[in-house]
């Protein structure tokens, strides 16, 4: 039966490839970091407008929302603080994208290796090779 062979092949692949388990764990942990601090999404959404608006500050009026601040310096500091907070959010976004890419690559390998055991042994997951070179 083809479906039984496919299940066996995927099961064998999973048993032989701890990289997939590691990729899923890494993605789960990284998404957990996002879940722990939901304000990260807001920081990411506001990052680009704040980056654009910061150089436009010439007086105490915010170029983004038109609210007046006591001084241009206070407004610049406020926007710089928001930008600094969004830097951590951008790094988390990069970690999520990398972890998701790794997990997807491992899953593609599992799909590719769902053929016969002999063919599977001859083929090596190129994603594993790329990970080893980076690591």
* pLDDT of res. 65: 86
Reported as a single tens digit per residue, the pLDDT across 82-91 is 899 889 888 9
Q: Strand, coil or helix: what is 20?
A: helix
Banded model confidence at residue 94, pLDDT cuts 50, 70, 90: very high
Share of the chain above pLDDT 70, in %: 78
Reported as a single tens digit per residue, the pLDDT across 41-66 is 888 888 889 888 888 888 888 888 88
- The pTM is what? 0.61
CA 60 to chain centre: 36
* pLDDT of res. 121: 45
Under DSSP, the state recorded for 60 is: S
d(CA 120, CA 111) in angstroms, rounded, equals 11
What backbone phi and psi angles, to 5 degrees, belong to 61? -100, 125
- What is the radius of gyration, based on Cα positions, of the chain? 23
Encoded tokens for 54:
């910061």
């Amino acid at each position: 039966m083809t479906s039984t062979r496919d299940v066996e092949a995927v099961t064998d692949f999973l048993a032989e490839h701890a990289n997939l388990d590691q990729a899923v764990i890494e993605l789960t942990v990284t998404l957990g970091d996002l879940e722990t601090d939901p304000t990260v999404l807001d920081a990411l959404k506001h990052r680009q407008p704040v980056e654009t608006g910061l150089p436009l500050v010439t007086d105490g009026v915010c170029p983004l929302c038109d609210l007046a601040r006591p001084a241009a310096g206070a407004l610049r500091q406020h926007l710089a603080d928001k930008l600094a907070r969004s830097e951590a959010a951008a790094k988390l976004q990069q970690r999520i994208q990398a972890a998701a890419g790794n997990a997807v690559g491992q899953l593609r390998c599992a799909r590719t290796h769902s053929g016969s055991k002999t063919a599977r042994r001859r083929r090596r997951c190129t994603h594993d090779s790329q990970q080893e070179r980076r690591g």
